Amino acid sequence: MGRWRNHSLAIISSALLAGCGDNPTEQRWQSYHQQLANDLAVTDIKRTDPGNIGEFPERPDRVIAIPETRDSLLNVYALRECQITSLVAARNNQLGRVAPPSQQWLYERTLWQRLSTCLNSGVPDQLSDEDRTRLEQLTVTKTGQLSAVSWNAILIPASG
């Protein structure tokens, strides 16, 4: 009778400990290490943190600050042949200002594509020197910002 009680106690204790066990990812990781150790015929593999890699920064610390690009309505309208006026207007309305990072990335990418296409077309020949310079500067600015906008779109959650 005492033997059954010991077995019952062992089973109940095991069940309780199993409920407090590691998460499934950790269990798979341990299983992988055990399989690796068995296949390599070595004793248990010790997990250690690499000394040359620090803590991964929190998400807000990984975000790249991108300065806003501002211009007057007349200056944007002067580049109307580049087909950016409706795009800029959509970005500046209420919904455009609170768009999630993925939508901001789509806007920036589309704006960059239109500016680049415009700059490499015959449109700059029709513009004044001042507007042509503005188009070139805006294209260079947006080209430089595109990688940072892409990075942020990946790292910033949709909620904020």
Q: Which are the contacts of 41, defined by CB distance < 8 A and separation ≥ 6?
A: none
| Residue 130 and residue 64 share a domain | yes
| Residue 35 and residue 106 share a domain | no
Q: Which of 141, 85, 148, 86 is nearest to 116 (CA)?
A: 141
Total residues found in the chain within this entry: 160
Q: State the DSSP code for 149.
A: H
In a domain, 29, yes or no: yes
pLDDT of residue 56: 75
The percent helix, strand, coil of the chain (3-state, each to 5) is: 70, 0, 30
Q: Which are the contacts of 79, defined by CB distance < 8 A and separation ≥ 6?
A: 85, 118, 127, 131, 134, 135, 138
Distance CA 160, CA 149 (A): 14
**pLDDT-above-90 percentage for the chain:** 41
- CA atoms lying within 13 Å on the CB side of residue 90: 13
Provide the residue range defining the domain that includes 29.
2-40
In a domain, 51, yes or no: no
- With tokens 């910033």, the residue in question is 156
| Residue 93 and residue 36 share a domain | no
**Which pLDDT tens digit goes with each residue over 38-82?**
888 887 767 777 788 887 778 778 888 889 899 998 999 999 999
Q: Considering only 67-81, 87-101, 107-121, 136-150, which range has the smallest mean pLDDT?
A: 87-101
**Residue 6 pLDDT > 70, yes or no?**
no
| Residue 21 and residue 71 share a domain | no
| Residue 68 and residue 142 share a domain | yes
